[in-house]
Amino acid sequence: MKRSIGLAGVAVAVALSGCLGPRFMDRSAVVTEPSPCGATRFEVYFADSEARLTESARQAIGMTAAQLQGCDIRKVQVIGLADARGGATANQSLSERRAVAVTEALTAAGWPAPAFEVEAAGDAGAVTDGGVREPMRRRTEVLIDAAPRN
């Protein structure tokens, strides 16, 4: 014997299954935008034997400063590097000038000066972990510790 559930029975079954009409949940409570405030790292590259910021370097600094504008900048480590050419004394000086140039640009962008740790690796920055000298280490590494403002 076959049983049929009439139209009323189908409507009840659909309603009970939650398929009747749109039921949208407000996802804003569970989906949030990721915060740009956190550990960030970027590099600024320089021309050979130069400590002047290039236009690309200024753009990288500007974009990072804008991205972290609403953050609490806790610590900024700026490490100047040089390639293996030019001798230890010249490369140390060049690395220092590069680190200072980046630090000054970030300070001008409104970052707190007390947060900076400025270092220079000289031509030691051109040596990899495996002891190989890399000629293209003409850069400054910037490591940022930032957090959302309370």
pLDDT tens profile 64-92:
999 998 899 999 999 999 887 778 899 89
pLDDT bracket for residue 144 (50, 70, 90): very high
Strand stretches in 63-113, DSSP E: 71-80
Residue 143 identity (one-letter amino acid): L
Over residues 42-46, the mean pLDDT reads 90
Nearest Cα neighbor of 73 from 114, 120, 102 is: 114
Domains of the chain: 40-148 (3.30.1330.60)
Interhelix angle 55-67/88-108, rounded to 10 degrees, is: 50
What is the percent of the chain where pLDDT is above 70? 69
* Residue reference for tokens 């947060």: 115
Can you give the pTM of this predicted structure?
0.70
Residue 51 pLDDT greater than 60, yes or no? yes
Residue 135 pLDDT greater than 60, yes or no? no
Helices and strands in the chain, H and E counts: 3, 4
